[in-house]
Amino acid sequence: MHAAREAGAQKAYERKARVRTQRAGQGNDRTARIGHGGATGFIRRAAIATLALLAVLLAPVRPALALDDIANLKGMGVVAAGQVKRLDCPMSGRFDCNSWPTNFLKFEYENICFAVDPGVCGAYCKGILATDKGKTVYFFESQPGGDLAQRRARGYECPPGF
């Protein structure tokens, strides 16, 4: 049953391919001779489409991340630096998870917690927490290659037990 359905689909595809070439003024069955019709053509188009999709997905989403923001640290007060881990709300019922900050982070060996925008830092990352003269808090996330990406952060009191 399945093989018959595939054979029928293949014939329908070949008819459509032939019709397209006839409309383009090439109704001399040229597609069969150069291998553009049938499964071979489909495989080629699928391979090209896959390569195009990979090129789009692997392209840098934000080229600005490639710039190093280390110069922005000048004049800021460093609050903490080192390994950072994400704190997810425990389902024990001890905390109200509805008010738990999104992307809540804590320096691993210090009692310093903060939140940043989603997408910054996975489960673990390294970075620097700093404040400017206006007391605005920034997190400088370490990127692959050693660059630092500056992100706005919000300071929080660390929950007990973390």
Beta-carbon-side half-sphere exposure of residue 150 (alpha carbons within 13 Å): 15
pLDDT by 10s per residue, the chain, length 162: 545 555 555 555 555 444 443 444 444 454 444 444 566 665 666 555 554 444 444 444 443 444 689 899 999 999 999 999 999 998 888 889 999 998 999 999 999 999 998 888 888 899 999 999 999 999 999 988 889 999 999 999 998 887
Q: Helix (H, G, I), strand (E, B), or coil: what is residue 71? A: helix
pLDDT of 67 reads 61
Question: DSSP character for 73?
Answer: G
For residue 121, what pLDDT is reported? 85
